[in-house]
């Protein structure tokens, strides 16, 4: 049994090790929309949720798994050339 009900923004782990985030709950369709770490979107029936043996976990430290951009794709030369919502986490370091 799942230890916690679905809550948007919370991360869970399946017994097989798959980690996902709850991104939406559709009460009309009785489904929970989830996003896997790699960005894949899936649905789980609300009735099935309690039987999945899920464990609530902390969000991964490397949250960029679902972001479709590698650090090598960003050259950091222009101040305004960042994609919306992206900030270089190493920008505050002195570059040698």
Tell me whether residue 40 is in a domain.
Answer: yes
Query: 23-43 in b/e burial notation, b at 16+ Cβ within 10 A?
Result: eebeeeeebbbbbebeeeeee
Residue 82 lies inside a defined structural domain of this protein: no
| pLDDT, position 87 | 65
pTM: 0.62
Domain of 52 in residue numbering reads as 1-59
Position 27 in a domain? yes
Residue 49 lies in a domain: yes
Q: Classify residue 16: in a domain, yes or no.
A: yes
Q: How many domains does the chain have?
A: 1
Give the CATH number of the domain where residue 14 resides: 2.30.30.30
**Res 73: pLDDT:** 55
Please name the residues in contact with 53: beta carbons below 8 A apart, sequence gap of 6 or more. 1, 2, 14, 15
Segment 33-66, tens digit of pLDDT: 999 988 899 999 999 999 999 999 998 876 555 5
Percent of the residues in the chain that have a pLDDT greater than 90, as a whole number: 43
């Amino acid at each position: 049994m799942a230890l916690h009900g679905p809550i948007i923004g919370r991360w869970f782990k399946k017994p097989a090790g798959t980690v996902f985030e709850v991104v939406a709950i559709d009460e009309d369709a009785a489904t929970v929309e989830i996003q896997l770490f790699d960005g894949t979107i899936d649905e789980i029936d609300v009735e099935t949720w309690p039987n999945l043996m899920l464990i609530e976990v902390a969000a991964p430290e490397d949250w960029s798994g679902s972001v479709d951009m590698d650090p090598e794709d960003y050259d950091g030369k222009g101040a305004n050339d960042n994609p919306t919502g992206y900030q270089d986490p190493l920008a505050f370091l002195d570059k040698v």
